[in-house]
Structure 1
Amino acid sequence: MYKFAVTLSLLTHLLATLCLPTQECPILGPVLPSEFDIAQTDAFLNATELFPRQLELLFSSGVLNRTSSSFSVDVFSSVTNTSIYSYNHDATDLHEALTTGELTDNTLFRIGSVSKLFTVYALIAAAGIEIFNDPVTKHLPELAGNIGRAAVESIIWEDVTVGALASHQAGVGGFILETAACTELGTCNVSDFLAQMRDNKRPTTSAFETPIYADSGFGILARVLERLTRLEYGQAIHNTLSVPLGLNTISTFKPEGDAVDGLIVPGSLAESSWGFDNQITAGSGGIYANGADLRTIGLSILHSQLLPPAATRRWMKPLGSVAALSESVGAPWEINRLALPVTSNSTRTRISDLYTKAGGQAGYGSIFALSPDHNIGFTINVAGATAGRDRWVLRDLVGETFVVAAEHAAAEYAAQNYVGTFVDDSIDGTNLTVTVDDDKPGLGLASMFWNSTEVRTALVSLQPLPIPAENVTVRLYPTGLQDGTRRVFRAVVEYYPIEPRAAIEGGQGLFNNGCAAWLSAAFYPDSDSLILDIVDGQLESVTSVLFNSTMRRVA
């Protein structure tokens, strides 16, 4: 195993030294349209063939234990609203723990801290995302009263907002031991819990100082949800999420009866959390779920099924930073900033944010992930003694296989359906050419003529600049604005030689001078706006707002 780890480390270092950001700087977000079935592309089909082989390497090297770790992997698409790849591994040592004798995406697991995602989702669905701005004392006045006490000893709850709790920035840390150990519903008293948090809980940081993972904050948020809905936490989750989404298995209590489909890891509480149903801590890590219901939750978020689209977009943004360039913190998203190769076999990468939530408790591990750039998500449920470690290994494999495949699938699809030459027959010499290019993000605008004059530089200056065409590069990026078949793209114009990125990205110096797309796009509101009309998946025409010209496909 050590030899394998060293080899993997060396490979990772080699890849890091070989891969650099794309020379052209894209706008953060999707760089290509993703409204297509990626399961039908060569890039994705190749990934489905690669995944089992890579998994076998992890088994044979001992990184994963074939006999003692069971897991269920599901990759889904919001375009087809289906699972597009699944893999279930039934470990021999845990086979008897399957109540139906079969591991499927209907099999119940404990999902640990993925429960935090349910808590926040239910809060936003019940009260709107504006609740993030509320002081928690607005909803739980019992917490008030510490103003004037020593700040090193007491949490000043009046400074703590719902959003601070949801993004681990309230400085509240973990649960008090006696609360975390409470196993019987009748002995888990909400009033006592809130009094302990007010009177006995020492802060880990000041509010909004920095994100530090805080389980107890979600115990507080569960109480906020209870006040809003006037229901106990489990029933509030049921009414707010399960009923409107048609979820079948979500619960904060272990299921009873002969028809249970679950993987019940045997052993003591130290070995298995099955049946440890503390309702005070349930909002932090107490939910039972299966892969099918997790997929439904993921699809509902990608479709903004329960929330206004603007609220979903606001929710899926970073709210804090940690001491790593590749990670940031949301509510309660663990946001991984991925450097994705932009085209197949490319050593040039662009940044894409993967929104994840990990969960783990005795005997179980879980990963929930959404990639808004690609309209896909994935879930991983693991059971066994090493589930806590195995979830990370599987997250890395699934993400590196299928998120990368989704990026390449988009380039493949765009090359087949968007590339071409477009002409405005009403104005002589008015045309443009759209490309997809190796090592470059987004669509390329290889040329654009209006009345026989090359006008790409006018997209950012309102009039053509006397710059040789070979010194100009223009990339087109989607904005998310759409109406029927029409999609608004922004043209980002850059000039060679492009300023270098910072040294940390393979350039030079501390500061980033070569990535200013977000500063220059839409500087003149409509000049760089191009409207792409996409019919049955194919780009049929491009309209320049600046020149009031619609150019239609001729090749």
Structure 2
Amino acid sequence: MVITKNLLPFALMATFPLSGVESKACPPLGAVLPPPRQPSKEFAVIEAVKSLKATFDKVTSRYNASAVSIGVQSIYEDIPFVDLHYTPPIKNKNSTETVTADTVYRIGSCTKVFTVLALLQQKNIRWDEPVTKYLPELKRNQAEGTDIEAVHWDSVTIGALASHISGIGRDLAFDLANFPVPFFQAEKMGLQPLDDKARANHCSGLGVTKACSKQDVLKNMPLRHPQYASYTAPLYSNVGITLLGLVVEKVTNKSLDQLLKEKVLRPTGMQKTSLNEPPVSDNEGFIPANDPTWSTKTGVFASSGGMYSSTSDMLSFGSAILSHKLLSPLATRKWLSPTSFTSSRGHVLGAPWEIQRADRLAPDGRIVDIYAKAGDLGQYHSMFALIPDYGIVVSVMTAGKEVSDEFFVQSHLVSQTLKAVIPALDAVTKEEAKKDFAGVYQDKESDSVVELAVDNGPGLAIKEWTVKGFNVLGNFTFYNIAASGKKLPGIARLYPSNLEAGSQKAWRMVFDQVDDERGEAFDEAAAYPDARCVNWGTMDRFNYNFAGLEEFVITVGRDGAAESLSPVGFGVTLTKQK
């Protein structure tokens, strides 16, 4: 599927031209302005959704047997601002007649997010513990062999399994020995013949194969060779998450199904979500024609890919995560963090997040992190994504033969959706910041002035900064006792942190380190991208009497608009001028 249409009319960005930046901005990681509180009511967002709808209609017009659902919701609103669904003319006779936000799909490996969440909710399970503490059978059943043949199970930790860096193999269910003639012609394809006794040791649950029990997994998984030593390189492992499901069940003495109902599904009102059994009758789900997956039971592997859900439920789930309703704020921040790299500059891994590092969404080209999880089961293909910088959740669900023939269809649809809505959300954040924060802050008694502006760069630009008659902005370099005398280039910018106390919100000032000319030369000569972007290492170098000179506190009113500003290290408070 190729979409070339610009999903956001350029006219929407006319207020924020793309030229004239004084130097390349390098913001800290995270949101550069507070996210919109009511995006569904904003003109830029409404127009972006209209454009997305036109593209959606064009794409789905080619589908005769595939359903598609796309939802996007802000955590600050109760309803989604993107709610698009397509019902194909060809489907299973028992399928729903009309696809809506409440239509149930199978979500495959998106299940892994729920399993890891259930693990994180158990405060007595530590991330660095070996899995053998809870499943000693893995070590007991280990066949003898060299390091090439035998996994060192004591070195496989809970955290390694959750983030696909344990080094163990991907699957048991898809072992070709599970599928006898005529389903798979092993010997004709050069593989060694297996006798009935050898075949009896295998299990899967797919198609005509024997389903696996917990005991089967703990007996057979130690027979699989390692792919890497643990903590070497990421390798996606379905059975790794299955093992975590068994750990959670052993610790809680409850089934994962029961645990999720108690701790996740009921608290978030997810009535159309379940594990391994459809939560609704067939006519409330979308069932592709000639696809048996709808009613397939994944058994012991359910914790890795056995869930059913709807667009509306997944949006509720994502909102609950970002609003800290399922984990504490600290635990949520830890969860929404990378754990390892991949060989792609655009992908890093979390637990079990597939984090996409996008530099093609925000108009200023900065990195926006997408915490996503894709899922595939038969002809069902879904993706669930959180974008913390903008406080939004995305759910894409598809099913059918046509979408199954496309390469990572759900990931493509998420990308196109975000390319439409993120520039619009970014425009809204600037408009709101201009209204709420831009302007002159003054304390006449101390002869102090700070002027903030919104321009085409990220954050708030500091245009003037004078304290007690001294030009702080023009002489900031000299607060460093080892100053060389060279002034910093560009402009200083303010970015919000996540620290607050009532009506007081903390912001951080960041100075660009080099001008465009020198920065471009440095980037060109470097062996890695974004070489000049080192502000994470240069922030907070200037402080006085234990307070950072880059710390700002903005006091806001009930409407969220700034009333006063304090550059903390200078001990003055400036009132916003009307």
| Bucket of the pairwise TM-score, normalised by the shorter protein | 0.7 to 0.9
Q: Quote how far apart the aligned CAs of 1:463 are.
A: 7.0
Residue number in structure 1 paired with 2:506: 488
Query: CA 1:71/1:460 → structure 2, altered by over 3 Å: closer, same or farther?
Result: farther
1:533 is aligned, of 547, 551, 555, to: 555
Letter in 1 for 2:35: S
Residue number in structure 1 paired with 2:527: 510
SS in 1 for 2:24: coil
Residue number in structure 2 paired with 1:116: 112
TM-score by length of 2: 0.84
**Residues 185 and 278 of structure 1 are in contact (CA less than 8 Å); yes or no, is this contact kept in structure 2?**
no
Query: CA 1:58/1:276 → structure 2, altered by over 3 Å: closer, same or farther?
Result: same
Structure 2 Cα separation of the partners of residues 321 and 105 of structure 1:
34
**Residues 205 and 297 of structure 2 are in contact (CA less than 8 Å); yes or no, is this contact kept in structure 1?**
no
SS in 2 for 1:541: strand
Structure 1 Cα separation of the partners of residues 267 and 411 of structure 2:
32
Letter in 1 for 2:534: A
Please state if 1:328 is matched with 2:323.
no
The 5-angstrom pairing of residues 308-319 of structure 1 reads 308-319=328-339
Q: Quote how far apart the aligned CAs of 1:260 are.
A: 5.3
The 5-angstrom pairing of residues 42-191 of structure 1 reads 42-59=43-60, 65-94=62-91, 96-99=93-96, 101-127=97-123, 131-145=126-140, 146=142, 149-176=145-172, 177=175, 178-181=202-205, 187-191=211-215
* Bigger Rg, which one: 2
Please state if 1:362 is matched with 2:378.
yes
Letter in 1 for 2:551: S
Q: Quote how far apart the aligned CAs of 1:469 are.
A: 8.5
The 5-angstrom pairing of residues 326-405 of structure 1 reads 326-340=346-360, 342-343=362-363, 348-388=364-404, 389=406, 390-405=409-424
Residue number in structure 1 paired with 2:219: 195
**Runs of 4+ more than 6 Å apart:** 18-22, 183-186, 463-470
Letter in 2 for 1:485: S
Q: Quote how far apart the aligned CAs of 1:394 are.
A: 1.3
In structure 2, the gaps of 5 or more residues are 6-17, 176-201
**Residues 418 and 538 of structure 1 are in contact (CA less than 8 Å); yes or no, is this contact kept in structure 2?**
yes
Letter in 1 for 2:309: A
Residue number in structure 2 paired with 1:13: none
Residue number in structure 2 paired with 1:441: 458
TM-score by length of 1: 0.87
Cα deviations across residues 277-304 of structure 1 (Å, max 9, x unaligned)? 1221111111011112111110111011
Letter in 2 for 1:534: V
Query: CA 1:235/1:387 → structure 2, altered by over 3 Å: closer, same or farther?
Result: farther
Please state if 1:273 is matched with 2:274.
no
Please state if 1:415 is matched with 2:434.
yes
Structure 2 Cα separation of the partners of residues 303 and 415 of structure 1:
26
1:455 is aligned, of 462, 472, 475, to: 472
Query: CA 1:466/1:214 → structure 2, altered by over 3 Å: closer, same or farther?
Result: closer
Structure 2 Cα separation of the partners of residues 360 and 399 of structure 1:
21
Cα deviations across residues 49-104 of structure 1 (Å, max 9, x unaligned)? 110222244357xxxx33222111110111124322211111111385533x2211
Greater shift, 66-75 or 142-151, is seen at: 142-151
Cα deviations across residues 494-518 of structure 1 (Å, max 9, x unaligned)? 3552575588x96443155421211
Q: Quote how far apart the aligned CAs of 1:400 are.
A: 1.3
Residue number in structure 2 paired with 1:519: 537
Q: Quote how far apart the aligned CAs of 1:545 are.
A: 0.6
Greater shift, 466-475 or 145-154, is seen at: 466-475
Cα deviations across residues 91-141 of structure 1 (Å, max 9, x unaligned)? 111385533x2211111100011001111011111337x622221111111
Structure 1 Cα separation of the partners of residues 280 and 539 of structure 2:
59
**Residues 438 and 451 of structure 2 are in contact (CA less than 8 Å); yes or no, is this contact kept in structure 1?**
yes
Residue number in structure 2 paired with 1:292: 312
**Residues 95 and 285 of structure 2 are in contact (CA less than 8 Å); yes or no, is this contact kept in structure 1?**
yes
SS in 2 for 1:132: coil
The 5-angstrom pairing of residues 201-216 of structure 1 reads 201-216=224-239
Cα deviations across residues 417-451 of structure 1 (Å, max 9, x unaligned)? 221111113312x111111111x111111110112
Query: CA 1:55/1:246 → structure 2, altered by over 3 Å: closer, same or farther?
Result: closer
Letter in 2 for 1:322: T
The 5-angstrom pairing of residues 465-476 of structure 1 reads 471-476=489-494
Letter in 1 for 2:91: L
**Residues 363 and 383 of structure 1 are in contact (CA less than 8 Å); yes or no, is this contact kept in structure 2?**
yes
**Residues 90 and 289 of structure 2 are in contact (CA less than 8 Å); yes or no, is this contact kept in structure 1?**
no
SS in 1 for 2:30: coil
Q: Quote how far apart the aligned CAs of 1:38 are.
A: 2.0
Query: CA 1:397/1:472 → structure 2, altered by over 3 Å: closer, same or farther?
Result: closer
Residue correspondences, number:
527
Structure 2 Cα separation of the partners of residues 19 and 506 of structure 1:
20
Letter in 2 for 1:307: L
Structure 1 Cα separation of the partners of residues 326 and 318 of structure 2:
12
**Residues 20 and 506 of structure 1 are in contact (CA less than 8 Å); yes or no, is this contact kept in structure 2?**
no
In structure 1, the gaps of 5 or more residues are 9-17
What is the root-mean-square deviation in Å for CA atoms of aligned residues? 3.0
Structure 1 Cα separation of the partners of residues 476 and 19 of structure 2:
31
Query: CA 1:216/1:431 → structure 2, altered by over 3 Å: closer, same or farther?
Result: same
Q: Quote how far apart the aligned CAs of 1:254 are.
A: 3.1
SS in 1 for 2:25: coil
Please state if 1:37 is matched with 2:38.
yes
Query: CA 1:218/1:183 → structure 2, altered by over 3 Å: closer, same or farther?
Result: farther
Residue number in structure 2 paired with 1:236: 259
Please state if 1:255 is matched with 2:283.
no
**Residues 458 and 527 of structure 1 are in contact (CA less than 8 Å); yes or no, is this contact kept in structure 2?**
no
Residue number in structure 1 paired with 2:11: none
**Residues 488 and 512 of structure 2 are in contact (CA less than 8 Å); yes or no, is this contact kept in structure 1?**
no
Residue number in structure 2 paired with 1:15: none
SS in 2 for 1:244: coil
Please state if 1:223 is matched with 2:246.
yes
Cα deviations across residues 289-337 of structure 1 (Å, max 9, x unaligned)? 1112111110111011121111111111110111111110110101010
Letter in 2 for 1:53: A
Structure 2 Cα separation of the partners of residues 451 and 19 of structure 1:
35
Q: Quote how far apart the aligned CAs of 1:222 are.
A: 0.9
**Residues 477 and 486 of structure 2 are in contact (CA less than 8 Å); yes or no, is this contact kept in structure 1?**
no
Q: Quote how far apart the aligned CAs of 1:351 are.
A: 0.6
Greater shift, 332-341 or 184-193, is seen at: 184-193
